[in-house]
Homo-oligomer: A and B are copies of this chain.
Amino acid sequence: MIHIERSTNLKVKPAQEKLGFGQYFTDHMFMLDYDVTKGWHDARIVPYQPITLDPAAKVFHYGQTIFEGLKAYRGGDSRIRLFRPEANIARMNRSNVRMSVPQLDSDQVLAALEKLIEVDAKWIPSEPGTSLYIRPFVFATQPVLGVAPSEQYQFIIIMSPVGAYYPEGINPVRIFVESEHVRASVGGVGEAKTAGNYAATFMSQQTAKEAGYTQVMWLDSAQHRFIEEVGSMNVFFRIDGKVCTPALSGSILAGITRSSIIQLLASWGIAVEERTISIEELYEAGREGRLEEAFGTGTAAVVSPIGELCWQGERLIIGESRTGELAKRLYDALTGIQYGTVEDTFGWVKAVDVQAALV
């Protein structure tokens, strides 16, 4: 049972061409509280509003927080589609285990998500490539400084209309291979979608930007040899006609786009090798002209082709810095399923019935 308090002071919606990413938020948010004695309770949709926390709340001090990111897409048929929301909720609960955060009820979260989308349905943008980005997150609120798991939490869903990731068409990026700093290590929390993993990447991101690169490629923490992720995306390569991606080692985020691409390729008869891939192997293939494509995958970009790498000063141009054939085909197929122009034979799409609310 979700209590709904509707905003009486609706915001002016921004122009769709000015949306950008995560800058504007809808009129409402979902909130759910946890207390060790009561469990999760007080599910409610309320006007988008500030959170009030004691300055001793554990989120500020010990970082127990998990988030997820998914999108609602408005199709040309005016139907609203979510892409594998159950997978996001399942991953959130896996992250919660690693960070000692209590489990959420998957059905309750999905119902909350759908209800919130219904309430703010008019915020789902309609221009090509736009979508409604959904950000569920949970954080520790108990105001006690003891270094131990919190006994109180808050779970919130906020939503933001976002612009097209590629307003001028899908385009390759230049990536800086980070040989000194690391994102995560096996036995650590790299597999959890927790806040601290992101702040840990900002310094390298800055180094990459200053050198003229868009993002960072992460190597393993033990040997600085094995490829892990690119920015906050998983990464795929096509070498000698074969597709490979780093195996989920424990330090790599199990991307939902990653898993979808593996399944999609399998359905096309293309097997993906999930294995360790060293930067030396990649460069050797690149120097010999056998590295045909490289691309990142994630919810924001779906597929992000990589046109150039820089590792220890050596630049490597991939696929003449053009978007590869496979990357393009995957991008078209996945976005087609998301916007409803390609048949979803995988059962990935969850349509949300908000026709009435859209009017």
Contact = CB atoms under 8 A, between A and B. Distances in A.
Nearest to A25: B56
| Total identical chains | 2
Which label, helix, strand, loop or mixed, suits the secondary structure of the A interface?
loop
A49 B20 CA distance: 34
Contacts of A25: 55-56, 143
A80 to B, nearest CB: 21
A203 B187 CA distance: 11
Nearest to A62: B198
A301 to B, nearest CB: 12
A199 B21 contact: no
Interface in A198-220: 198-203, 205-206
Interface residues of A, number: 71
Interface stretch (A8-16, A133-141, A327-335): A133-141
A206 B59 CA distance: 19
Contact of A65 (B51, B60, B183, B206): B60
A248 interface: no
Interface in A36-65: 48-57, 59-65
28 contacts: A20-B146, A23-B145, A23-B146, A25-B55, A29-B55, A48-B55, A51-B53, A51-B55, A56-B158, A60-B67, A60-B195, A62-B199, A63-B194, A64-B202, A65-B199, A99-B199, A100-B199, A147-B201, A147-B232, A181-B187, A182-B187, A184-B188, A185-B188, A185-B222, A188-B188, A189-B199, A189-B200, A196-B200
